Amino acid sequence: GAGVSQSPSNKVTEKGKDVELRCDPISGHTALYWYRQSLGQGLEFLIYFQGNSAPDKSGLPSDRFSAERTGGSVSTLTIQRTQQEDSAVYLCASSLANEYEQYFGPGTRLTVT
Amino acid sequence: GDSVTQMEGPVTLSEEAFLTINCTYTATGYPSLFWYVQYPGEGLQLLLKATKADDKGSNKGFEATYRKETTSFHLEKGSVQVSDSAVYFCALSPPRTAGNKLTFGGGTRVLVKP
């Protein structure tokens, strides 16, 4: 079946602009995660959605970052007023409820110029 | 907070050599432990896991044992192949009640030469 998909695969934006990154999880997966992979910080957790529960936003680095998940499926990560330090690969993962294995998408490479 | 420390790479080996990648962790309670692998040009994928002390995870000839006493989860493979060239990440997730968000180590790049 289809895996986790993310779009766009690459995004170049100017400093100060807003960007939206999209994640389509595997059908039926109720848990959805966003991570960021950067040279300086490695792989770090950003936010976690599980069903209808309030999301765990403990990893978001600043209030410029937000995410939503509509209808328990597709998720959008929004970064407002982008900064150069936001340049990274943003990874989305999904899993079944209470399952350990997370399935990762290919990522969106964000470059802020 | 939780943290994972793994040996820095790159690790360069010849085919059929023995591979060990050290991983230690700091966490409260009894986390679950994982090794993820990222092959060139591909996404992260789960290699193996262990969810309680003394469990051994294994897959594709790789093994790792959850050692609570030394807070370690070292990855080993007895005879590597060129196709094992990849970046390997050790990770943990908190006990079940806290959700399964992962804390990753810095990654270890492995290059296997023929």
pLDDT of A99 strictly over 90 = no
pLDDT at A1 over 80: no
Separation of alpha carbons B33 and A80, rounded Å: 34
Give the CA distances from residue A30 to residues A1, A35, A72, A73, B94, in Å, rounded to whole numbers and listed in that order.
Answer: 16, 17, 7, 8, 18
CB contact under 8 A, A91 and B107: no
**Cα(B34)–Cα(B11) distance, integer angstroms:** 20
pLDDT tens-digit readout, A12-69 = 999 999 999 999 999 999 999 999 999 877 899 999 999 888 899 999 999 999 999 9
Q: Which of A66, A65, A104 is nearest to A85 (CA)?
A: A65
Q: Any bridge partners for residue B88, and if so which?
A: B37, B108
Distance between CA B12 and CA B19 in Å, rounded?
10
Within 13 Å of residue B15, how many CA atoms lie on the same side as its CB? 5
The amino acid sitting at B96 is R
Mutant choice from B34, B36, B38, B100 vs A, greatest count of A C-beta within 10 A:
B100
pLDDT, tens digit, 9 for 90 and up, residues B36-47? 999 998 889 999
**pLDDT value, residue A109:** 96
- Choose the closest CB to B101 out of A4, A48, A103: A48
Residue B113 CA to residue B28 CA, distance in Å, equals 39
Query: How many Cα neighbours within 13 Å face the side chain of A20?
Result: 6
Extract the tokens encoding A95.
């899993």
CB within 8 Å: B100 and A95 = yes
Cβ of B49 within 8 Å of Cβ of A95? The answer is no
